[in-house]
Amino acid sequence: MSDGRMAQVYRGESLLFLTDEQLRQGIEAMFFAYRGFTADPDRILGEMAYGRAHHRAIHFINRVSGTTVNNLLAILGVTKQSLNRVLRTLIAEGLVESRVGTIDKRERHLFLTEAGHELETRLSDAQRARMRAAFRDAGPEAVAGFKQVLEAMMDSDMRNAYAKMRGNTT
């Protein structure tokens, strides 16, 4: 099927079911889009010998400043051992600060340092530029549909965590 015909099929309002081939193409599009979405941050992280796990930790520590290690574990869905490896590096390199909880001394709260904020800004600016250009090209209806598809792909617990992150309780 030609790209033009495929676009018509995807935009077809009456299309309720997709063929296995159309689904496969959607899956492949997601893989390639993810590669594009991560390409710019990967280059920045590569200069520092960091990986995507470092990026995810920095992103969510920035989004939820003062988050606990346990909360970050829940958000990222990784093992404590793998997160601790990442956090040790980020703390040793002066990008993240770990503070003992004021209410519960067993808790460690995580904050980005000034250098951590600078790195987070570089990484996010690159991704925002790519997202902004893609959203502008696709238009508002496509953006709303894209968001709806992404949320529909989330498991309910992930959708709840996502809503909580955005400040919604629904």
Residue 93: give its domain's CATH number. Answer: 1.10.10.10
103-to-71, 97, 98, 106, 107 alpha-carbon distances in Å: 16, 18, 15, 9, 8
Q: Is residue 1 part of a domain?
A: no
Which of the four pLDDT bands, split at 50, 70 and 90, describes residue 10? low
Greater pLDDT, 5 or 121: 121
Above pLDDT 90, what percent of the chain?
A: 72
Q: Is residue 126 part of a domain?
A: yes
Average pLDDT for residues 6-16, to the nearest whole number?
53
Contact between 145 and 81 under an 8 Å Cβ cutoff? The reply is: no
* Number of CB atoms found within 10 A of residue 22's CB: 15
Average pLDDT of every residue of the chain = 89
Tokens of 101: 């909880």
pLDDT for 169 equals 44
Domain count, the chain: 1
The domain in which residue 77 lies consists of 20-138
Q: How far is CA 119 from the centre of its chain?
A: 16
Q: What is the pLDDT of residues 12-57, one digit of tens each?
A: 545 568 888 999 999 999 999 999 999 999 999 999 999 999 999 9
Q: How many helices (H) and strands (E) does the chain have?
A: 8, 3
Average pLDDT for residues 66-91, to the nearest whole number?
94
